[in-house]
Structure 1
Amino acid sequence: MSDPIRYVAIGDSFSEGIGDVGDATGAPALPGWAGRLATGLAAVHPDAPVSYANLAVRGRLLAGVLDGQLDAALALDPAPTLITFCAGGNDLLRPSFDPDALIAPLETAVERVLARGIRFALLSPADPSARLPLGSLINNRGNAWAGALGDLAQRRDLPFVDVSRDRHLGRAEFWSDDRLHMNATGHQRVADLALHAIADAPAAPEPVDARAARARLPEELRYYRDHVLPWVGRRVTRRSSGDGRSATFPTWTPVRSTPDH
């Protein structure tokens, strides 16, 4: 039997798996790209016991991920063998966004994880800018953050999945109704990209371009009412969608070797 794989994800709503409600076959037992990655790891390594934990919580800034979730990940017993980090997407929506100021504490965290003999993989956040207000600003900041993450990964020889600049994931068919979180199709593509980078699995298949019809005015008005205005309200009142929430898989969960999607 191969060595056990104990994989834990840390991050924000993207790693938590928001938007992945499943496809026609139903929601997966381990939703989100991180859960789908865990299932993929079990399929690629059928002789290795695979366990999964997910400490990501929606709305978290990078500092909260490093200060709270990383400590919890390193405190798991037995210790993890793999940690994925994906955060910064909420930070780049803040006026004070500075990639250099964010990358410094992350590099310190990388050193801490590697010193424990644990693999550490980086992912850039998904880029929802194509269909959002202020999309150009979000895209430019996302590219800057992805570049900083890529440089860090190269310096430290870490697996890196550049989700932000994937040439397919900007398309509408990968996103849920709120246009901010990926749907099941988007999460599965990210899982495939991560499995290739982390476990040397075959490259993710090229998706078919199924361009959606242009949104009509009533649909746009409904989107702003149901999704944009509540988001603005949280910013004004300094609330987070993750307030009061805790991790969905805080302890080790055995992973089946057959995919759930």
Structure 2
Amino acid sequence: MLRVAEVKNPDTLSTPGAAIASYAAIGDSFTEGVGDPGADGTYVGWADRLAVMLADHRPDGELRYANLAVRGRLLDRIVAEQVPRAVELAPDLVTFCAGGNDILRPGTDPDDVAQRFEAAVAALTRASGTVLVATGFDTRGVPVLRHLRGKIATYNAHLRAVADRYGCPVLDLWSLRSVQDRRAWSEDRLHLSADGHRRVALRAARVLGVTVSGDPDEPWPPQEFRTSADVRRDNIHWAREHLVPWIGRRLRGESSGDRVSAKRPDLLPVR
């Protein structure tokens, strides 16, 4: 089993990914995989894709994997529901991506959110081999979230400090240039597309020392020309289909994950 003390650089994991035999992912919609639908109707996402890469990297091809993430979850609920389960499973690897939904809320303090995040990291590192921490995305190209860029950057600085203190490798999503392209995002503009999730999985695999053939920052092909009328029509469709329902849920105090449970609550073999 990997040990935190073995990590030399919090941005990369020196121990080869082949040493990871079990993996638990915790978080919200990002880790659940929203925006990357599978053939059976469930979401795939970067964590599922990473699990396959880790299994392929192992000499025996065997990896046990759990995904505890649920869309819409705030940090406190993730800490109350998912962190204890991850501690109970005690896998070789935990990926911990949380706090983003808190940062989106008006009036939340990134300093306070980071303090609660650190308490969870402390619990996870005591039980797990390695805890990979993910930063937030750079939202400069997301109209709805552009005004939160400074708040997200502050939170990211705290996450890196936490990673330094606990020897955690860092999945730096802020610097992932490829997700600045609109094609990295799904139709709702809040969740990654299938290709966006794939690129994050490739970046995570590299951080964990797994050799992968793909490049997470591979340039996108040239885009088709879009007129101003095309852009305006897309914006109207997006507002009607996604923005208005999202605002409605917020006003009603509802969450997209109110009736959703973890898609993979146990450590099961990856096929």
Report the TM range for the smaller structure's normalisation. Answer: 0.7 to 0.9
The alignment status of 1:236 with 2:251, answered yes or no, reads: yes
The more displaced of 204-213 and 221-230 is 204-213
- After superposition, residues 53-202 of structure 1 pair within 5 angstroms as 53-76=66-89, 79-127=90-138, 130-133=141-144, 135-201=145-211
Offset at 1:192?
0.5
Q: Please state how far the C-alpha of 1:13 moved relative to its aligned partner.
A: 0.1
Distance of aligned partners of 1:201 and 1:150 in 2 relative to their CA distance in 1, 3 Å threshold:
farther
- Give SS of 1:233's match: helix
* Structure 1 gaps, min length 5: 257-261
The worse-fitting range, judged by mean Cα deviation, of 224-233 and 112-121 is 112-121
SS in 2 for 1:168: helix
Task: Give the equivalent residue in structure 2 for 1:226.
Answer: 241
Task: Check 1:3–1:218 CA distance in 2 against 1; reply closer, same or farther (3 A cut).
Answer: closer
- Structure 2: distance between partners of 1:4 and 1:157: 17
Distance 1:86 1:220 in 2: 29
* Aligned equivalent of 1:16, options 21, 32, 38: 32
Matched, 1:207 2:218: yes
8 Å contact kept, 2:32–2:45: yes
The match for 2:13 is none
When normalised by structure 1's length, the TM-score is 0.87
2:23 corresponding residue in structure 1: 7
**How far apart, CA to CA, are the structure 2 residues paired with 1:67 and 1:165?**
30
Matches within 5 A, 1:37-48: 37-47=50-60
Cross-structure match for 1:259? none
The alpha carbon displacement at 1:237 in A equals 0.9
Q: Aligned pair in 2 of structure 1 residues 4, 223: CA closer, same or farther (>3 Å)?
A: closer
Distance 1:194 1:232 in 2: 32
Cα pair 2:139 2:146 within 8 Å, conserved: no
- Paired-residue identity, %: 38
**Contact 1:42 1:48 (8 Å CA) reproduced:** yes
What SS does structure 1 have at the residue aligned with 2:178? Answer: coil
Q: Which amino acid aligns with 2:218?
A: P
- 1:204 Cα shift? 5.6
Check 1:29–1:195 CA distance in 2 against 1; reply closer, same or farther (3 A cut).
Answer: farther
More deviation in 211-220 or 51-60? Answer: 211-220
Structure 2 contact 125–166 (Cα < 8 Å) conserved: no
Query: Residues 20 and 182 of structure 1 are in contact (CA less than 8 Å); yes or no, is this contact kept in structure 2?
Result: yes
Shift of residue 4, structure 1, vs aligned partner? 6.2
**1:142 offset after TM fit, Å?**
2.0
Q: Measure how far apart 1:149 and its partner are.
A: 1.1
- Taking the aligned partners of 1:30 and 1:109, their CA distance within structure 2 comes to 26
2:232 pairs with 1:217:
yes
Deviation at 1:203, TM superposition (A): 8.5
Could you tell me how far 1:30 is from its partner in structure 2? 7.7
Moved over 6 A (4+): 26-30
| Structure 2 counterpart of 1:33 | 46
- Alpha-carbon distance change, 53 to 139 in structure 1, aligned in 2, over 3 angstroms: same
Going from structure 1 to structure 2, the CA distance change for 1:218 and 1:28 (only over 3 Å counts) comes to closer
- In 1, Cα distance between the equivalents of 2:121 and 2:246? 32
Amino acid across the alignment from 1:74: V
| SS of equivalent residue, structure 1 residue 107 | helix
Superposed CA RMSD in Å reads 2.3
